[in-house]
Amino acid sequence: MKNSTKTIKNQVLLRFLLILALILSLLWLLEVVAFETIYQSVKSNEIKSVGREAVERYAEHSEDALMELSLKTNCNIVIIEVEDQGIQIVFNSSRVADTGQIEKEFIELINKLNGASSVTYISELGNLKILTYGQEVYDTNGYYYVYVNSLITPVESSIQVMTFLLLITSVISIVLTVMVSILFSMRLTKPIVTLANQAKKLSQGDTEIKFDAREFVETSELSDALNYSIGEIKKSELLQREVVANVSHEIRTPLTMIKSYAELIQDYSGDDKQKRDEHLNIIVNEVERLEYIINDILDYSKLNSNTIQFNNEEFDLAESIQRFVKYYGDKEPEFEFNLSSIKDAKIVADRRRIEQVITNLLNNAINYSTDKKQVDITLKDDALGYRLEIKDYGIGVPEEDQKTIFDRHFRAVNAKRMVVGSGIGLSIVKSILEHYGFEYGVESKVGEGSTFYVVFTTIEIDSNNNKKYK
């Protein structure tokens, strides 16, 4: 049974609620724990600012400005000068304050200052709390003191009001969060659900399905990727059918030949040495052909699954080509092989795999030749290393097919005869050359032949299979 809490809708809802819970918890914490402290801090900064401004205005001898400041800030401002005879209240914004109370407040201020130039403190008067800022000022006329006090409003009633408002806000926020998260998750999951349903159909073998979720950039890109995958699946299925059909045919042909000539030996030519040897040679050739097809299939499978091992070594490319030209000259006596080669063309690669490339290209040239049975092989210097060209005078490759000729099981549509081989030789060539990063390609004209080329870059390959240009 699937865990319903793991759905996108539920996960979006849970995360929205979690974020809301954190925000509301922070608000409740600030209200319950820190509200009074924050209020007093703000009030303290405010009264300090009023005290400093009062000093400036008194220095300008502007009592009206002082009174205006007191009324605007709802603070009581008192200025006291110290003389030999005692203290003198030079400004008192309350005007009705008791002189004895002012003197008492002044004494408290002196004690709080204790040598400092300014001080802020809270004092109590009955059930009231009073915030006071006091400052000692010195000018040319001597010392005077400015202090400002303001009543601290009890915060209990404010906290009750805020608690009520916060409670209402919390309820509304939770409801809105649930609604918004549901709508958002539905909007978010719609294209994903669509893709999931279409993917289920694809998993059931429906390759005609088309992914089309364009609501978001990500789902649009995913749709494109899945549609591309469907195209590749179709190509793979078609390729599989073609490979099975062609390889089955290619394998059946030598098996039929082997069986037929074995029966001939058994029934007719067993006692005739000349005919028996002739028939046995045919059987051996067909077995070699069958072995060649099977090896191609195995190599192709290993190359595509990246399980093939490349054993790099330095060897002479020219020597390998000369050896194969001699081999094919003996094997295909009706063909003329013309070799033009430099000497001592040393490269670093897997000798067996590079020779596999050469044999596949030579086989391809032989198989697609027509009346003019000639193959020209050229190995020459190149700016990056050595360039090998194998030219035939066969059917040629149309220009529109030249880009795909190295694809899996490509076979020219204008082939005029049954071609011997597995049909995956050029794909093997492509995989090997791309492993080393060697440049390759084909130049061809229909009816005139084709020239396949490979540029073997002279590189060094370390023990970690990393490439280093010489």
Whether residue 210 lies inside any domain: the answer is no
417: pLDDT strictly greater than 50: no
Distance (Å, whole) CA 15 – CA 257: 72
Token pair belonging to 450: 């084709």
Mean predicted lDDT score pLDDT of the chain: 80
Kindly write down the DSSP assignment for every residue of 213-244, as one continuous string. Answer: --SSHHHHHHHHHHHHHHHHHHHHHHHHHHHH
Q: Is residue 24 located within the same domain as residue 101?
A: yes
Q: Is residue 275 located within the same domain as residue 341?
A: no
- Contact by Cβ (8 Å): 336, 375: yes
Token pair belonging to 389: 């060209």
Kindly write down the DSSP assignment for every residue of 21-57, as one continuous string. Answer: HHHHHHHHHIIIIIHHHHHHHHHHHHHHHHHHHHHHH
The residue with greater pLDDT, 51 or 306, is 51
Structural domain ending residue among the three candidates 299, 329, 361: 299
Among residues 269, 261, 268, 239, the alpha carbon closest in space to that of 423 is found at 239
Whether residue 3 lies inside any domain: the answer is no
Share of the chain above pLDDT 70, in %: 84
Residues 175-224 pLDDT 10s = 887 888 778 777 777 777 777 777 787 777 777 777 777 777 777 788 88
Instruction: Give the CATH number of the domain where residue 410 resides.
Output: 3.30.565.10
**Number of domains the chain is built from:** 3
Start-to-end Cα distance in the chain: 61
- Reported as half-sphere exposure (CB side, CA atoms, 13 A), residue 436 has a value of 30
Q: Is residue 292 located within the same domain as residue 316?
A: no
Whether residue 139 lies inside any domain: the answer is yes
Angle (CA) 190 184 213, round 5° = 25
Distance (Å, whole) CA 151 – CA 74: 9
Distances (CA, A) of 323 to 40, 131, 420: 98, 106, 22
Q: Is residue 290 located within the same domain as residue 437?
A: no
Q: Is residue 27 located within the same domain as residue 140?
A: yes
Token pair belonging to 420: 């011997």
Q: Which domain holds residue 387?
A: 311-469
Residue 250: helix, strand or coil by DSSP? helix
Q: Which residues contact 188 (CB under 8 A, 6 or more apart)?
A: 8, 12
Q: Is residue 441 located within the same domain as residue 349?
A: yes
Q: Is residue 394 located within the same domain as residue 459?
A: yes
Distances (CA, A) of 206 to 191, 202, 233: 19, 5, 11
Whether residue 305 lies inside any domain: the answer is no
The residue with greater pLDDT, 163 or 137, is 137
Structural domain ending residue among the three candidates 265, 299, 333: 299
pLDDT at 319: 94
Whether residue 233 lies inside any domain: the answer is yes
- Contact by Cβ (8 Å): 469, 457: yes
Distance (Å, whole) CA 133 – CA 375: 107
Instruction: Give the CATH number of the domain where residue 290 resides.
Output: 1.10.287.130
- Contact by Cβ (8 Å): 356, 410: no
Eight-class DSSP state of 267? I
Structural domain ending residue among the three candidates 299, 334, 353: 299
Distance (Å, whole) CA 447 – CA 412: 12
Whether residue 143 lies inside any domain: the answer is yes
Residue 82: helix, strand or coil by DSSP? strand
Residues 355-397 pLDDT 10s = 999 988 998 899 888 889 999 999 999 888 899 999 999 988 8
Whether residue 199 lies inside any domain: the answer is no
Q: Is residue 423 located within the same domain as residue 319?
A: yes
Distance (Å, whole) CA 194 – CA 188: 11
Q: Which helix (H) or strand (E) holds 316?
A: strand 312-316
The residue with greater pLDDT, 250 or 65, is 65
Q: Is residue 293 located within the same domain as residue 323?
A: no
pLDDT at 95: 63
Helices (runs of H) and strands (runs of E) counted in the chain: 10, 14
Confidence band, pLDDT 50/70/90 cuts, at residue 424: confident
Q: Is residue 254 located within the same domain as residue 355?
A: no
The residue with greater pLDDT, 3 or 359, is 359
Q: Which of 11-15, 92-96, 445-449 has the highest mean pLDDT?
A: 445-449
- Contact by Cβ (8 Å): 146, 58: yes
Residue 360: helix, strand or coil by DSSP? helix
Whether residue 65 lies inside any domain: the answer is yes
- Reported as half-sphere exposure (CB side, CA atoms, 13 A), residue 201 has a value of 13
Instruction: Give the CATH number of the domain where residue 107 resides.
Output: 3.30.450
Q: Is residue 319 located within the same domain as residue 448?
A: yes
Q: Is residue 147 located within the same domain as residue 241?
A: no
Q: Based on the number of CB atoms within 10 Å of its own CB, is 392 exposed (0-12), middle (13-18) or buried (19 or more)?
A: buried
Among residues 133, 61, 131, the alpha carbon closest in space to that of 91 is found at 61
Partnered with residue 451 across adjacent β-strands are 391, 443
Confidence band, pLDDT 50/70/90 cuts, at residue 453: very high
